[in-house]
Structure 1
Amino acid sequence: MAKDCSFDIVSEVDMQEVDNAVNQTVKEISQRFDFRGSKSEVSLEGEQVKVIGDDDYKLKSVIDVLQTKVVKRGLSLKNLDYGKIEPAAQGTVRQMITIKRGIDKEKAKQIVAAVKDSKLKVQAQIMDDQVRVSGKNIDDLQNVMAKLKQADFGIELQFVNYRS
């Protein structure tokens, strides 16, 4: 009975949690004394978070509040990709933060290479924005998961669809 076991490696972000974190940030900014009278704001626009501050210091403060709320909602900061700080209207500065979802081809190739370097009897294949790992031994699959959790690929990895 040689039955294959498998699991998928994905990088997903719960956009409802991102929306909740943005809303909590907006609420905190409106209530904090150091932001009184400032033009600081945060908004979610599709897959991006737009952060506006009076100056670089206020912008960094708003981003710090946002990061705190994101972590409290159980999301990883690895999935946030910070754009460059650019001047905006009325003397303010703006920064766009893109939410990274899915595994791009380069990261997927790095993950497959890491699985092959583990010298375990498993196969890894790239399937769109996820990687499927399969093998005959459940222990080998669990060892692959442990090795991938230790490695840093710059994105948050989740292991789903575990089939034995």
Structure 2
Amino acid sequence: MADQFSFDVVSEVNMQELRNVVDQATKEVKQRFDFKDSKTEITLKEKEKELVILSDDEYKLNAVIDIIKTKCTKRGVSLKAFDYGAIEPALSGTVRQTAKIQSGIVTEKAKEITKAVKESKLKVQAQIQGEQVRVLSKSKDDLQATMTFLKGKDFGIDLQFTNYR
């Protein structure tokens, strides 16, 4: 039997679900009357981990973002996974907004998570490993208490727990 149990705290987005969200949102935009004859596009750049939204004006752009948020909620994609940039003008009078997709935990957030775990007074150790945080303990109960503790805190990013062993 293992004398140490562990789990990893990660922040990832299921790209297949995100593709489904983009497909459904595109289909809805094409069907809606208020988007008739508009130059509205939703583009998912998986390699750059970006979502690019292009539309005629800010009002339509915000409507498209609302559609995307609704579809994300229905498909179980966290809204915290997106970091929206500024609205910028694009070609022929349209506007564009780029949303970065969360992938991995940045160092500052990882330090914040490990600090919170240490301050929780649970008998666990947290260490940063690349873009994830590993939590170790001799007790599975302490690990589950740590998961519950982390779910209750808001770090501004979506957290998942993997490799529970």
The TM-score normalised by the length of structure 2 is 0.96
Q: Deviations over 1:44-88 (max 9, x none)?
A: 122111101111100000111111111111110000010100001
Q: How does 1:98-117 map to 2 (within 5 A)?
A: 98-117=100-119
How far does the alpha carbon of each residue in 1:80-138 deviate from its partner, in whole angstroms, 9 at most, with x for none? 01010000111111000110111010000000001000011110000001100011111
Q: Tell me which residue corresponds to 2:29.
A: 29
1:68 is matched with which residue: 44, 67, 70?
70
Q: Give the unaligned 5+ runs of structure 2.
A: none
* Larger deviation, residues 38-47 vs 123-132: 38-47
State the alpha-carbon separation in 1 of the partners of residues 43 and 12 from structure 2: 20
Instruction: Name 1:7's counterpart in structure 2.
Output: 7
Q: Hey, what's the Cα distance between the residues in 2 that align with 1:138 and 1:40?
A: 50
Match of 2:99 among 73, 83, 97: 97
Task: Give the secondary structure class of the aligned counterpart of 1:153.
Answer: coil
Match of 1:80 among 79, 82, 99: 82
Q: What SS does the corresponding residue of 1:162 show, helix, strand or coil? A: coil
CA distance in structure 1 between the aligned counterparts of 2:54 and 2:45, rounded to whole angstroms: 13
Superposition map of 1:146-161 within 5 A: 146-161=148-163
Change (3 A) 1:67 1:2: closer
Could you tell me how far apart the structure 1 residues matched to 2:112 and 2:14 are?
24
Aligned length: 163
Give TM-score scaled by structure 1 length: 0.96
SS in 2 for 1:71: helix
